[in-house]
C-alpha cells in the first residue's frame, strides 16, 4: 500500500491548512468521521459524500473518550493499511489520522454535556459514551469546518445526539444520516462482527430478524408496542441471545419509549452475542 497516492494529514495544523485551501477553492466539503476498521457501511458514507460534495475528508481516530475503562478501546480493531487502500481506491481527497496526543494533549479537560436524547438506551448502559462522542465530533467539526457531515443510521441514537447538538450549539454543518448497510442475511455490518465465531455469527442474525419483525408487525397493523417488543425478545431468545441490554420501541426523534405506534417510531436493540456487543435498529412507520 503506498501512502503517497492518498493525502494524509496527521496534525491539526495540516488538516486545517488543507480544509482552508479547499474552502477557498469554493468547493462543497463533506466529512465522514470513523474509527477505522472500515467496511462497506463506512464506504457507503464515503460514496454518499462523494455524490453530493466536491471534496471529501475521512477521519480515522479511535476516540478514547467514548470508551469506558471496562470497554474494548485497546482491543478495538485497527486495520490502517487496508483502510487507506480502500479510501485511496475510492479517491477520497483527504484522510485525517491524528494520534491521541494531537486531539487530547496533556491538560485536556473540556467535554460536551450531550443533549437529553443521549440519556436512554446507550446512555443508560454506557454512561459517558455520548459525552465522548459529542466531544470528539464537536472537535472535528471545529477543526474541519465542512458543509455536510455523514453518519450511519446503524448508530441511530448517535445520529440523534449529533443532530440535537448541532442544533443546540448552532454548528453550521448539515448532518446527513445514511441507511444501514447489511450482510446478505441481514446482519448490520460492524467492525465488531469479525469477533463472532461461526456459531455466534449464525445467532447474530437474530438482531436484524427482530427489528425486521417489528417493521412487519407495524405494517400488519399492530399498534401495542408491548406486543411487538415481546416478539423481538422471543426471536432473540430462540437464537440463544440472552444478554439483551434493550429491545425497545421509542419515539423516532426524542427516543422516549412509547406504548403505542401513534407517531414515527424506531425499534432499537443492543445485545451480546457471546462476548461481542451488537446493535441494530429499524424505523417503524404506521401505514
Ligand atoms: P465507527 O467507525 O463505528 O465509529 O462508524 C463510523 C460511521 O460509520 C458512523 O457514522 C456509523 O454509524 C457508520 N456505520 C457503521 N456501520 C455502518 C453500517 N453497517 N451501515 C451504515 N453506516 C455504518
DSSP the chain: --GGGS-EE-SHHHHHHHHHHHHHTTPPEEEEEE-S---HHHHHHHHHHHHH-SEEEEEE---GGGS-TTS-TTTS---HHHHHHHHHHHT-SEEE---HHHHS-TT--------GGGSSTHHHHSTTHHHHHHHHHHHHHHHS--SEEEEEGGGHHHHHHHHHHHHHTT---EEEEEPPPB-TTSPBP-GGGGG--HHHHHHHHHHHHHHHHHHHHHHTT--BHHHHHHHHHHHHHHTT--EEEEEEEEETTT--B-SB--S-EEEEEEEEETTEEEEEEEEE---
Percent of the chain with pLDDT over 70: 98
Task: Return the pLDDT at 32.
Answer: 99
CATH code for 191-281?
3.30.1300.10
222 CA to middle of ligand 1, Å? 30
Instruction: Tell me, yes or no, if the two domains 3-178 and 191-281 fold the same way.
Output: no
Tens-place pLDDT, residues 130-145: 999 999 999 999 999 9
Tens-place pLDDT, residues 160-217: 999 999 999 999 999 999 999 999 999 999 999 999 999 999 999 999 999 999 999 9
282 CA to middle of ligand 1, Å? 15
CATH of 3-178, one of 3.40.50.620, 3.40.718.10, 3.40.50.10490, 3.90.1150.10: 3.40.50.620
Q: Is the pLDDT of residue 2 over 70?
A: no
115 CA to middle of ligand 1, Å? 21
Ligand 1 atom 13 nearest Cα = 152
Q: Which position among 39, 42, 129, 233 bears the catalytic label?
A: 42
Tens-place pLDDT, residues 25-58: 999 999 999 999 999 999 999 999 999 999 999 9
Q: Is the pLDDT of residue 268 over 60?
A: yes
Task: Return the pLDDT at 1.
Answer: 47
Query: Known catalytic residue: 233?
Result: no
Locate the domains of the chain by residue range: 3-178, 191-281
Task: Return the pLDDT at 5.
Answer: 84
Percent of the chain with pLDDT over 90: 95
Average pLDDT over residues 94-110: 98
Amino acid at each position: 500500500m503506498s501512502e503517497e497516492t492518498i493525502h494524509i494529514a496527521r496534525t491539526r495544523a495540516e488538516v486545517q491548512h488543507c480544509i482552508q485551501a479547499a474552502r477557498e477553492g469554493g468547493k462543497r466539503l463533506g466529512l465522514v468521521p470513523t474509527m477505522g476498521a472500515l467496511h462497506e457501511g463506512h464506504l457507503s458514507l464515503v460514496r454518499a459524500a462523494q455524490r453530493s460534495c466536491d471534496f471529501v475528508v475521512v477521519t480515522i481516530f479511535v476516540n478514547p473518550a467514548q470508551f469506558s475503562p471496562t470497554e474494548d478501546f485497546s482491543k478495538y480493531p485497527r486495520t490502517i493499511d487496508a483502510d487507506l487502500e480502500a479510501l485511496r481506491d475510492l479517491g477520497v481527497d483527504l484522510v485525517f489520522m491524528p494520534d491521541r496526543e494531537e486531539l487530547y494533549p496533556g491538560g485536556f479537560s473540556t467535554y460536551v454535556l450531550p443533549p437529553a436524547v443521549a440519556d436512554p438506551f446507550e446512555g443508560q448502559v454506557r454512561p459517558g459514551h455520548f459525552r465522548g462522542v459529542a466531544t470528539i465530533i464537536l472537535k472535528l467539526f471545529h477543526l474541519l469546518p465542512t458543509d455536510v457531515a455523514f453518519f450511519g443510521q446503524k448508530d441511530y441514537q448517535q445520529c440523534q445526539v449529533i443532530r440535537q447538538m448541532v442544533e443546540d450549539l448552532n454548528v453550521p454543518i448539515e448532518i446527513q444520516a445514511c441507511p444501514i448497510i447489511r450482510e446478505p442475511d441481514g446482519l448490520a455490518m460492524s467492525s465488531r462482527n469479525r469477533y463472532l465465531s461461526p456459531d455466534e455469527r449464525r445467532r447474530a442474525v437474530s438482531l436484524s430478524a427482530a427489528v425486521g419483525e417489528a417493521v412487519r408487525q407495524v405494517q400488519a397493523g399492530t399498534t401495542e408496542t408491548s406486543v411487538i417488543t415481546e416478539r423481538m425478545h422471543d426471536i432473540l431468545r430462540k437464537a440463544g441471545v440472552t444478554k439483551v441490554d434493550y429491545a425497545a420501541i421509542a419515539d423516532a426523534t426524542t427516543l422516549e419509549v412509547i406504548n403505542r405506534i401513534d407517531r414515527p417510531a424506531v425499534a432499537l436493540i443492543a445485545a451480546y452475542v457471546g462476548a461481542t456487543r451488537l446493535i441494530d435498529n429499524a424505523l417503524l412507520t404506521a401505514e
